[in-house]
Structure 1
Amino acid sequence: MGPPTDLPAVIESEIKEWHFHIYFHQNNASEHQAALELRDAVLRLRRDGAFVAVPLWRVNTGPIGPHPVGSYEIWCPSESFASLFSYLCINRGELSILVHPLTREQRDDHDSRKAWIGPSYPLDLSVLPVKSDEIPFQYPSLKLGYSSTAPQLSLEARRKIGASIESILRSEKEAAKAPQD
């Protein structure tokens, strides 16, 4: 059985919120300073409208939870994911960044669903629950991510967009064609 392709099920399972964990070696003053400067830059850019990104107020100066070194967390809704990811890819310097989704399955989010910007670190997954009753959504007052109140595209609208894209790409030699099943 391959990856799912049932459109309603895929849409229902879409990840709406993400965490970016900025890592620094807690005994390295220059890394710690670089991490704080990156945090301040993200806060300024959020203030100025570049993206929605909410760094947690606390900066962990040592290992905490599954994280083996100093770190802080930035919450990001899917609406700003590409903008924040792009910014951090370009501007992380020598810092490593763990990126993971927020779902009911925190251990999988930090294990098989994670990505790294920069070198990876080993995580202590034993401190994370396997499955929670609820999605750990954050900042519902923003009405973004899982709390979004924006109207969603209907299945019919999505199918029309998909058909239009397929039609346009028919003349593109380098573009893979969708199966005709």
Structure 2
Amino acid sequence: MTEIKDFHAHVYFNPESREAAARVRQGLRDRFEVQLGRWHDANVGPHPQSMYQVLFAPEQFGEIVSWLMLNREGLDILVHPTTGDDVADHTAHALWLGKKLALNIETLRKMTS
């Protein structure tokens, strides 16, 4: 077993769902000790859609992921650990809430090679 440093949740949105993404973000900010990343209104890294990232500790996983399951407002969310293997973290170790989006894994491979 590899050590999990922390978790990332990537909350995906488009122009029509940006307000819903803002409500989810505010809910996370109000309820949890998380680190909220900036809004990315264009594709960044392996992510095929606009998104923001939420970073949280392993001991928060159950509470935060449970909350996201019930309060994601129809948004697609990627949750993955940080183990030091970016490719595996975004693929084999990942879980999806909503639709599984096609990530550009080649971007991660280039960043780690």
TM-score by length of 1: 0.58
Aligned to 1:24: 13
Structure 1 stretches of 4+ with a deviation exceeding 3 A read 129-132
1:70 paired to 2:50: yes
Please tell me whether Structure 1 or Structure 2 has the larger radius of gyration of its CA atoms: 1
Higher-strand-fraction structure: 2
Q: Which amino acid aligns with 1:15?
A: I
The answer on whether the counterparts of 1:53 and 1:80 sit within 8 Å (CA) in structure 2 is no
User: Which residues of structure 2 form unaligned runs of 5+?
Assistant: none
Alignment of 1:1-181 (within 5 A): 10=1, 13-25=2-14, 27-28=15-16, 31-46=17-32, 52-56=33-37, 58-129=38-109
Report SS of the residue matched to 1:20.
Answer: strand
Task: Identify the structure with bigger relative contact order (alpha carbons < 8 Å, sequence gap 6+).
Answer: 2
Report SS of the residue matched to 1:128.
Answer: helix
Q: Which amino acid aligns with 1:53?
A: V
Corresponding residue pairs, total: 112
TM-score by length of 2: 0.91
The answer on whether the counterparts of 1:108 and 1:130 sit within 8 Å (CA) in structure 2 is no
Aligned-pair distance for 1:129? 3.9
Q: Percent identity?
A: 31
How large is the RMSD of aligned CA atoms in angstroms? Answer: 1.6
Q: 1:16 to 1:104 in 2, by over 3 A?
A: closer
Write the deviation string for residues 80-108 of structure 1: whole angstroms up to 9, x where unpaired: 11110010000001101001110111011
User: Which residues of structure 1 form unaligned runs of 5+?
Assistant: 1-9, 47-51, 133-181
Aligned-pair distance for 1:37? 1.1
